[in-house]
Structure 1
């Protein structure tokens, strides 16, 4: 079977594509699940914080990733995608929690969920919270989101962002708008990007 096509994502200015690739993500009892992923980073926010801190705090602050899935072999005739989706969600949650830990997020816990529409499909997104202990001794609270759904294809979307204003966490007096952005704006950006995935 051919590799999945890359998802199309619309992100804002200041974001950049940092990685893309196709890989086997996990195994289900009768098939392998492969994904074509694109990962993005808020480069403007990262550069802004690095310029405002001494020593520079130069780490990923906000990220967004979208993956289109395919199955090898394909789904058996008569198999409803809805019957496979719970297994996809479970595996995606495990992988996402591990990716958060790999990014240095500790005390990862599941939080609330939201329902929304993506290109006509009903999608439930689940949030996860945790903390990153930075090299400068700051504790940066973070919130991550995961959504997995099916329309004509299967998609998995993840993202994360600071759960407090960066200026407050890093004690930056008179920080500009970029570093004083409230977390709800980051959250709205995530959901806007998610709705753009196709």
Structure 2
């Protein structure tokens, strides 16, 4: 079963569902840890950049994952016992995912905590990376060889199950769009972070 996300809000703000997947995230000595994931992107921003600059790529993404253990956990083994392991493995996997998406110099930064909709406390890890843009894609791309990117991954337990949620965005969206000739984009890093945190909080 897929995690619950704020679908109406996502749709209303220009996000679109990219894919739904089920895959093995990592393995424990006694079980496979599978993730049921919904991945969204800011389709509205992607389309504006594509139309204005001919550069077609995913600029902002958000995902939510429900974690399943196969076979189920043995009696007496609760989520709290596995939280450190799941958190560490999920952080490693998220970093690898950023690299697979073409991000470079991926590094971990600070951590934070906040409460999600269920009342559980989520542990958040901040990531920083750079997104190189090929000079072949746009005349002004030399000024955008390394776009700074910030990502966040949240991990928590919900009703005895684990949830993962997070995403990433350029730190200087307006400057990137201006350099590419995309006008009218008013989206700061602070606004991107706030929106992503609100989306993470709403996952159940």
2:108 match: 110
1:12-65 deviations in Å (ceiling 9; x for gaps): 521000000212221011111111110000000111112222xx1110000011
Superposed displacement of residue 166, structure 1: 3.5
| Alpha-carbon distance between aligned partners in 2 of 1:173 and 1:27, rounded to the nearest angstrom | 46
Mark the runs of 5 or more structure 1 residues left unpaired by the alignment: none
Superposed displacement of residue 168, structure 1: 4.5
User: Taking structure 1 as the reference length, what is the TM-score of the superposition?
Assistant: 0.90
Query: SS of the counterpart of 2:72?
Result: coil
Contact 2:91 2:125 in 1 (8 A): no
Q: 1:187 to 1:77 in 2, by over 3 A?
A: same
After TM superposition, what 4+ stretches of structure 1 lie above 6 angstroms from structure 2? Answer: none
1:157 aligns with 2:153: no
1:41 match: 41
User: Taking structure 2 as the reference length, what is the TM-score of the superposition?
Assistant: 0.88
Contact 1:148 1:156 in 2 (8 A): yes
CA RMSD in angstroms comes to 1.6
1:81-111 deviations in Å (ceiling 9; x for gaps): 1111111111111111111011111111111
Contact 1:167 1:173 in 2 (8 A): no
Q: How does 1:1-20 map to 2 (within 5 A)?
A: 5-10=1-6, 11=10, 12-20=12-20
| Alpha-carbon distance between aligned partners in 2 of 1:168 and 1:21, rounded to the nearest angstrom | 31
| Alpha-carbon distance between aligned partners in 1 of 2:133 and 2:71, rounded to the nearest angstrom | 43
1:99 match: 97
1:145 match: 152
More moved, 60-69 vs 19-28: 19-28
Superposed displacement of residue 169, structure 1: 6.3
1:175 aligns with 2:171: no
2:32 match: 32
Query: SS of the counterpart of 1:7?
Result: coil
Mark the runs of 5 or more structure 2 residues left unpaired by the alignment: 135-140
